[in-house]
């Protein structure tokens, strides 16, 4: 038996004012994406902003449906938009935030497992890391250098590409 220890490195900030201008701008764009959330059932809005290597920023927001689970998370809305509109684009960074009228969110909300798997696929496809910023409105920020650190056992099967 081998005991293997996994560690991840991430940066923690008090709020977005401590970020670089580019990262702060990306976070502010994620906040704009919150406005397009369609979440009449959960009342839980999620916004994502993704910066491409070209400098363009693509937004996504969660889209619910009465026939649950037919909706889609903000991260996948933005990523699938990039995949269909800019199939060869390189993703540098993405920022994710959430908001609800039901309670105050005090810690950054992280992506679900399904979104993480899709994020890993984009990172794998472009053969370059995607930096991820999770942040709480008016609060804490967590920044990871690569999606792989968030889901170390992502499903990967290279033989399926053949």
Domain ranges of the chain: 11-148
| Number of other CB atoms surrounding residue 47 within 10 Å | 28
CATH superfamily of 11-148: Cytidine Deaminase, domain 2 (3.40.140.10)
Query: Can you tell me whether residue 95 is helix, strand or coil?
Result: strand
Single pTM value for the model: 0.93
More confident residue, 6 or 92: 92
- Which residues in the chain belong to E strands, given as ranges? 11-13, 44-52, 57-61, 91-100, 131-135, 141-144
pLDDT, average across residues 23-45:
97
Question: Considering only 24-28, 66-70, 128-132, which range has the smallest mean pLDDT?
Answer: 66-70
pLDDT (0 to 100) of residue 162: 63
CB 29 within 8 A of CB 95: yes
């Amino acid at each position: 038996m081998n005991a293997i220890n996994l560690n991840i490195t991430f940066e923690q900030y008090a709020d977005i004012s401590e970020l670089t201008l580019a990262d702060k701008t990306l976070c502010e764009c994620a906040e704009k994406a919150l406005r397009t959330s369609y979440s009449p059932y959960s009342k839980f809005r999620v916004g994502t902003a993704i910066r491409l290597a070209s400098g363009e920023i693509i937004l996504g927001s969660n889209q619910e449906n009465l026939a649950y689970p037919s909706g889609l998370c903000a991260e996948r809305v933005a990523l699938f938009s990039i995949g269909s509109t800019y199939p060869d684009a390189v993703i540098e960074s993405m920022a994710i935030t959430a908001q609800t009228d039901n309670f105050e969110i005090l810690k950054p909300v992280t992506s679900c497992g399904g979104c993480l798997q899709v994020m890993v696929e984009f990172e794998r496809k472009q053969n370059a890391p995607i930096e991820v910023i999770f942040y709480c409105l008016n609060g804490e920020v967590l920044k990871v250098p690569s999606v792989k650190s968030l889901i170390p056992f992502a499903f990967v099967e290279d033989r399926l590409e053949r």
